[in-house]
Structure 1
Amino acid sequence: MKMADNAQSNMLPEKQPNPGGSPRPIVRILLALVILSIGAGTAAYLKNSAPRTQKRPPAKLSPTVQVETVQPCGYQVVVTAMGTVIPASKLVLKSRVSGEIVGIHPEFTEGGFFKKDMKVLQIDPVDYELALVRKRSAVAEAEYALKLELGHQAVAKREWELLSGSQPAQELEEELVLRKPHLDKAGASLAAAEADLRSAMLDLNRTHITVPFNAMVRLKSVDLGSQVTPQDAMAELVGTDAYRIQVSIPVDRLEWIKIPGQAGDSGSKARIIYGQGHECDGIVIRLMGDLSDEGRMARILVEVADPLGLNTPEKDRAPLLIGEYVRVKIEGRRLDGVFKIPRTALRDNSSVWIAGEKQTLEIRKVRPVWRDADLVLLQDGLKPGERLIVSDLAAAVEGMAVRVDALKSETRSDLSAINKAGGE
């Protein structure tokens, strides 16, 4: 047992003696405390000696707006609407006599033009010429019968004078003896024969088919050799002196348009835009007496003279076509001393925004006197030189601060001046 204990004790390391006499763990602890104290002191010093920043409230940013400087001006109101071209005069051409068409004008085709009283068609006149000869013969016979009866009446009158002497006779007996009824019959027969002659002459003249006004053939339904009767339509003609445009407009626009009355005054002028940018002039001639079935719109008629340009020296003018859908700009009343603003600057249909002298927002109620798709006219509610806000704001509050975008506002003011000059 002792040998085992000695062997185990020999295996353990020998403890080294501490020359300082104090244990090492205490020194380490003290050293760590010193380092921590120095670090804490340094941190406290840096914290206390660092410059302090003063807290300020966040700056309030005013929204930027664009403005236009408004000035009163004169403006010619223009009512813009759409309409359909219709003929001012049209005719279904029919014959007043029957027969075969033996002659036809080269222009008698769709799109052909005729001047007033020009001959269009010729119906075979032979039968009517023969009828005219017979009627003239009947007139000659009636004239002969009348002259013969006048001779008989003269003889009867002399015989009556010889036989009656001084004896009175009844009026009826005298008329019969003097053959007055026979004379009346002969006169009536002559009048009837002469009337038949005039009718035959008219029928012969009616074999020449003419047009009653300057016209264009819109549709034809007969040709050379066709048999026609008075009930047959031979062609459809439209007048070329003028076309009309049936325009539909809202009822509240009528007060701006001058419509002719019984006094003979002229209507408002109009400008018609059609085709590929072609234009021509027109004039309002009538207000139709009912509203359109679709949309309950008022309807007016605008007349265009020489719609096909037949009497116009302008070679580049395009013809106006029947059935064409066109834009019509009708000249309305002129307004003076009004403020013209963009349609987008009218807020809620009844107010505008003004940038005041103190750079604050003013919300002002207005009542437009005219408005269309692009602009609004105000008679009052604005003062010359005021700055109208034309840009949008997310939330507009009376009295809120705003900043005017000087560059864009200056550009818009230049454009406004140009528009003002155009409106005047």
Structure 2
Amino acid sequence: MALLCAATAVAAMLYLSKPSAQIAEPEYKPVSIDVTTAVKETVRVTVQAQGTVGALRETAIMAEVSGRIIETAENLVVGSFVAEGDVLLRIDPRDYQTSLLRAQASVESAESSLVQEKGRSAVAQREWEKLPSGSQRSQEAKNLYLRKPQLELAEAQLLAAMADLNTARDRLERTIIRAPYNSLIRAKHSELGQFVGAGSRLIDVFSVDQAEVRLPIPQSKLDYLELPGVEGYTEEHVIDLYTDVAGQIKHWKAMLHRTEGVFDDRSRVLYTVARIEDPYALSSPGAEPLRLGTFVNADIEGREFSSIVVLPRHILRAGNSLWIVDDSNILRNRQVSVLRTDGDEIFVSAGLAEGEQVSLTAVDNSLNGQSVSINKSTPSDELREEPSLTLPAETDQQAEQAATAAVAQ
């Protein structure tokens, strides 16, 4: 009992001797953030597109006469280059040489007949002039007497014979099959000793002097480009084509030539066509050839836009909002207008003034209106390497999905 009383007394003494409590004011430490200073720039839009290199001209060479193939060129193989006018194969010409001889003989016979008829007509003219004036009858009778109908018939027969001669020469010439232009042989449908009829497909070739690539431009990106009218591009518009070749990026220069003028029914894209000179580098030994069928990327330079602020994409919040630090270092939420979102960058066209500070640090929504401290400030034009806006290529599947969504709405 005594022990309990002693413990109670000690506890009472400790309680009575405790110091009085002091209420301390909470200390607020501003959040430290990194910011970028808005710098307005003039940027030129570069739209990316993709396409497959195709032939400017492609011809299926057909037989114009029938016969057996008696000769083929040594380089008449798939993938071989042939120059304009090179002989590719020959069809047996003997029947057509015979037809030519007969046509020549017919011409000589018609010429002889015409000469004889002219002589008879001259004799008739002299006889007619000797007749008394009273015995001369009508003009029709005179023409018959002077053998004018027979003379006209002989002239017509000569013209017909000459036409047959020209046809025979053409048919004989068509037994020789030549390359229509500088080309590469894509396919071969005939062989030595084969009999072919008129209209038979012999060889498929395509031109190697020029090539084309169709580049799809979605409707959403047309405003970024300066597209021509129906007359095509009146000035030079050089674009860069590139692709991966054996692990290395190869580049080729191309010229925009025209647009196809209609939207694709399925993907809702407009095709612009670029033309490549000497794609197989035949006149530039050592250069990398751009073979037909190559899938390439293209950078198409478009319009310039002024007063654009380029910022990292990760700082853009829902509803196109950014954290802005005002002159009092207070964090404010602000909605801006975004011209384009591309890769790791956004391009702000309105809502930011020159020199305003934009937070690069992701902060919680609860800090809206709170004071912050700036750790580091960087001008916005130093945050990026290239001063151009590149819009990524849109695949046909993406374009088709976008068109489907637009129709559904």
Query: When the two structures are superposed, what TM-score results if normalisation uses the length of structure 1?
Result: 0.82
- Give the deviation of 1:328 after TM superposition: 1.7
Of residues 359, 378, 384, the one that matches 2:348 is: 378
Of residues 318, 321, 325, the one that matches 1:355 is: 325
Question: Are 2:91 and 1:123 aligned?
Answer: yes
Aligned-residue CA RMSD (Å): 2.7
Aligned equivalents of 1:128 and 1:252: distance in 2? 61
Task: Name the aligned partner's letter for residue 417 of structure 1.
Answer: E
Q: Match of 1:393, SS? A: coil
Q: Is the 8 A contact 2:38 2:380 kept in 1?
A: no
Aligned equivalents of 2:362 and 2:67: distance in 1? 78
- Give the deviation of 1:367 after TM superposition: 1.9
Q: Match of 2:7, SS? A: helix
- Give the deviation of 1:419 after TM superposition: 2.0
Tell me the equivalent position of 2:405.
none
The one-character-per-residue Cα deviations of 1:358-387 (angstroms, maximum 9, x if unpaired) are 332222232233443332223342233332
Gaps of at least 5 residues in structure 1 are 1-31
Aligned residues: 385
- Give the deviation of 1:400 after TM superposition: 3.3
- Give the deviation of 1:289 after TM superposition: 2.8
Task: Name the aligned partner's letter for residue 347 of structure 1.
Answer: R
- Give the deviation of 1:50 after TM superposition: 4.1
Aligned equivalents of 2:261 and 2:144: distance in 1? 65
Tell me the equivalent position of 2:334.
364
Answer 1 or 2: which has greater strand percent: 2
- Give the deviation of 1:397 after TM superposition: 6.2
Aligned equivalents of 2:319 and 2:302: distance in 1? 23
- Give the deviation of 1:147 after TM superposition: 0.1
Tell me the equivalent position of 1:319.
290
Tell me the equivalent position of 2:41.
73
Pairwise mapping of residues 13-412 of structure 1 onto structure 2 (< 5 A)?
A: 32-33=1-2, 35-52=3-20, 54-56=22-24, 65-261=33-229, 262=231, 265-266=234-235, 268-276=237-245, 277-315=249-287, 317-322=288-293, 324-348=294-318, 350-395=320-365, 398-404=368-374, 406=375, 409=376
Aligned equivalents of 2:193 and 2:318: distance in 1? 72
Tell me the equivalent position of 2:396.
none
Shift in alpha-carbon separation, 1:312–1:364, aligned structure 2, 3 A: farther
Q: Is the 8 A contact 2:233 2:258 kept in 1?
A: no
The structure with the larger Rg is 1
Q: Match of 2:365, SS? A: coil
The one-character-per-residue Cα deviations of 1:240-264 (angstroms, maximum 9, x if unpaired) are 1222212222113122223334386
Shift in alpha-carbon separation, 1:51–1:309, aligned structure 2, 3 A: farther
The one-character-per-residue Cα deviations of 1:219-257 (angstroms, maximum 9, x if unpaired) are 111111222222111111111122221222211312222
Query: When the two structures are superposed, what TM-score results if normalisation uses the length of structure 2?
Result: 0.85
Aligned equivalents of 1:98 and 1:166: distance in 2? 64
Q: Is the 8 A contact 2:68 2:91 kept in 1?
A: yes
Q: Answer 1 or 2: higher relative contact order, Cα 8 Å, separation at least 6.
A: 2
- Give the deviation of 1:318 after TM superposition: 4.4
- Give the deviation of 1:93 after TM superposition: 0.8
Q: Is the 8 A contact 2:232 2:257 kept in 1?
A: no
Aligned equivalents of 1:55 and 1:327: distance in 2? 69
- Give the deviation of 1:119 after TM superposition: 1.9
Amino-acid identity (%):
28
Gaps of at least 5 residues in structure 2 are 390-409
